[in-house]
């Protein structure tokens, strides 16, 4: 069994912002897998499907980003999963815009959603797909930057291509494991 959790903030105000990469990538996965994400569970919405003969759960926490650990810890406990069986999809300001990076585990860095997950579960052993948003431009507050939307057609195209790459990396992880996903997708940029 595997689970893919896309981090984001619920509500129209936050739709398609830089911080909601996880939600957008999980929506792409739901479309690719023809799996509606509607069932309310773990203070989130989930969709369950099969991939390569194994159960796969897609999860979007409906707590705010800073409380993502509530959904993650509840899902881990309910499904009796190890952290290594749950992939997190997150935005990352330390990666160049459009770059996708797959990691087997790691610290939360400046990401408050990851920080809460580590707090709630007591571990950093979650595989993750990080999607680069780039650092805030001079004069921008970090919170304003991650909660902003893409301004130009070019930015939207780079973001969409990166999200598609992240979705492919997540499916690769679910079917073939972390090493294969890292080898195929690390340091790739959206074209």
Catalytic residues: 19
3-state secondary structure at position 51 = strand
What is the distance, to the nearest Å, from the Cα of residue 149 to the centroid of all Cα atoms in its chain? Answer: 17
The three-point CA angle 138-154-164 to 5° equals 105
Helix 21-32 to helix 153-176 angle (10° resolution) is: 60
Do 39 and 48 contact (CB within 8 A), yes or no?
yes
Residue 101 has φ and ψ, to the nearest 5°, of: -135, 130
The three-point CA angle 20-34-157 to 5° equals 40
Token pair for 177 = 């494991």
Return d(Cα 146, Cα 155) in angstroms, integer. 14
Return d(Cα 175, Cα 96) in angstroms, integer. 27
């Amino acid at each position: 069994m595997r689970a893919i959790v896309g981090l984001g903030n619920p509500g129209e105000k936050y739709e398609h912002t830089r911080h909601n990469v996880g939600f957008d990538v999980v929506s792409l996965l739901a479309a690719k897998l023809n799996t509606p994400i509607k069932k309310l569970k773990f203070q989130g919405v989930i969709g369950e499907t099969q991939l390569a003969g194994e159960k796969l759960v897609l999860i979007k926490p409906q707590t705010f980003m800073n409380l993502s650990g509530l959904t993650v810890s509840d899902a881990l406990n309910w499904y009796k999963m190890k952290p290594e069986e749950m992939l997190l999809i997150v935005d990352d300001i330390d990666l160049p815009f459009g770059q996708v990076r797959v990691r087997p585990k790691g610290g939360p860095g400046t990401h408050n959603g990851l920080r809460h997950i580590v707090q709630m579960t007591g571990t950093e052993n979650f595989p993750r797909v990080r999607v680069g948003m780039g650092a805030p431009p001079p004069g921008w507050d970090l919170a304003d930057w991650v909660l902003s939307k893409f301004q130009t057609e070019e930015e939207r195209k780079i973001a969409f291509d990166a999200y598609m790459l992240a979705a492919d990396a997540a499916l690769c992880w679910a079917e073939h494991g972390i090493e294969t996903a890292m080898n195929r997708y690390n340091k790739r940029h959206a074209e």
